[in-house]
């Protein structure tokens, strides 16, 4: 297990199209998070799963965004009807229940909406 | 409102020139403060978690300290490979599991 994997690394899409990103967390981690980061800013929290249950969602997560984590393993983040303002790096992280070891982030999916 | 402010925004050091990065926070009850390092085009890499005022943690040339209002990341005798953006984040009582990040300090170390 080499860490958190995200796919694709880069995605360019036209405004109005739907996109889906995948995250494979560290297998022992039951917690999974999605964050969004724009240039010059720190990551912003989007949503959190414990196993397959989505327990927290940010006000930033509009109804065009949906996330799933079937069977408590990998997760997907879908953005419908993309807008130029959705252009950002989408980061996935996973963790154990303790925060002592922090969260392990993936390398992210860079989304560009043209 | 919970918030995190990091300073300076950017810092240039000569190799071997020690310095400190600051993270000040305003939260409704601190559950934990985190330091991360982020290289261009990559996700943040975990460095430290601090839980209470007075706590200190060290890793190689880095040392993190915590008070009731702020945290410092001290870099001793930095090397060019320490060049990165350093992010501070807090987890607050009213914010669930979410980490609230600052904008980061971009450190450049030249030889």
Question: Using one digit for the tens of pLDDT, what is the confidence trace for B70-105?
Answer: 999 999 999 999 999 999 999 998 778 899 999 999
What per-residue confidence (pLDDT) applies to B1?
Answer: 84
What per-residue confidence (pLDDT) applies to B96?
Answer: 83
Q: Which of A99, A104, A111 to mutate to test the interface with B (most CBs of B within 10 A)?
A: A99
Q: How confident is the model at residue A12 (pLDDT cuts 50, 70, 90)?
A: very high
**Can you tell me the distance from the alpha carbon of A8 to that of A56, in angstroms, rounded to the nearest whole number?**
25
Q: Which of B1, B4, B30 is nearest to B100 (CA)?
A: B4
Residue scoring higher pLDDT (A62 or B20): B20
Question: Using one digit for the tens of pLDDT, what is the confidence trace for B55-71?
Answer: 999 999 999 999 999 99
Q: Is the pLDDT of residue A1 over 70?
A: no
Residue B40 touches chain A, beta carbons under 8 Å: no
Give the other-Cβ count within 10 Å of A55's Cβ. 12
Q: How confident is the model at residue A17 (pLDDT cuts 50, 70, 90)?
A: very high
**Can you tell me the distance from the alpha carbon of A32 to that of A105, in angstroms, rounded to the nearest whole number?**
10
- Cβ distance A31 to B42 less than 8 Å, yes or no, reads no
Q: Which of A41, A45, A107 sits opposite B98 (nearest CB)?
A: A45
List C-alpha distances in Å: B91 to A29, B2, B26, B47, B50. Answer: 19, 9, 11, 15, 11
């Amino acid at each position: 297990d080499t860490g958190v994997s995200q796919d694709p690394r880069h995605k360019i899409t036209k405004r109005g199209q739907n996109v889906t990103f995948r995250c494979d967390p560290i297998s022992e981690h039951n917690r999974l998070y999605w964050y969004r980061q724009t240039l010059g800013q720190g990551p912003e929290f989007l949503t959190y799963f414990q196993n397959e249950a989505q327990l927290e969602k940010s006000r930033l997560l509009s109804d065009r965004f949906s996330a799933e984590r079937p069977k408590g393993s990998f997760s997907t983040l879908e953005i419908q009807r993309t807008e130029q303002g959705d252009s950002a790096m989408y980061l996935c992280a996973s963790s154990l229940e303790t925060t002592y070891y922090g969260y392990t982030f993936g390398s992210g999916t860079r989304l560009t909406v043209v | 409102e919970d918030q995190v402010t990091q300073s300076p925004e950017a810092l240039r050091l000569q190799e071997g020139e020690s310095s400190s990065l600051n993270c000040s926070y305003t939260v409704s009850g601190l559950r934990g403060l985190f330091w991360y390092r982020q290289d261009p085009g990559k996700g943040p890499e975990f460095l430290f978690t601090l839980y209470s005022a007075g706590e200190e943690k060290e890793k190689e040339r880095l040392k993190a300290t915590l008070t009731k209002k702020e945290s410092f990341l001290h870099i001793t005798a930095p090397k060019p490979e320490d060049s990165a953006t350093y992010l501070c984040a807090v987890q607050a009582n009213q914010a669930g599991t979410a980490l609230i990040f600052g904008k980061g300090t971009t450190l450049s170390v030249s030889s």
